[in-house]
Amino acid sequence: MRKKVTILLSTVAAVGALAFALNSPAQSTNAPAPHRERHPAIRHALATLREAKIELEHADHDFGGHRVQAIQAVDQAMEQLKLALQYDKK
């Protein structure tokens, strides 16, 4: 169970880092192909975070006192990814 919490928190940290990188002013010269879905990795991360949140919310224990903070971190990561996708549409 400790391994699952570690993996979950690592995933949340990685997604948070991705969201931070997306907010940086660096510009990419690679334009996405018009027929491909835009940012499939970000959309996949959102889906994975939703599943992790549900698992945390329905767990029968508090993961050593880390459940509430993990849920908050998941919420923050999801919000940042959603904002990044919205910004990209502008």
Residue 84 domain-assigned (yes or no): yes
Residue 53 domain-assigned (yes or no): yes
Residue 11 domain-assigned (yes or no): no
Query: Residue 12: what pLDDT?
Result: 67
Confidence of residue 57 (pLDDT cuts 50, 70, 90): very high
**Over residues 52-61, mean pLDDT:** 95
The tally of domains found in the chain comes to 1
Q: Token pair for residue 77?
A: 């990561």
Tell me the pTM. Answer: 0.60
Residue 2 domain-assigned (yes or no): no
Confidence of residue 33 (pLDDT cuts 50, 70, 90): low
In this predicted structure, the answer to whether residue 45 has a pLDDT above a threshold of 60 is yes
Q: How many helices (H) and strands (E) does the chain have?
A: 3, 0
DSSP state letter for 66: T
DSSP 31-55: PPPTTSPS-HHHHHHHHHHHHHHHH
Residue 65 domain-assigned (yes or no): yes
Residue 79 domain-assigned (yes or no): yes
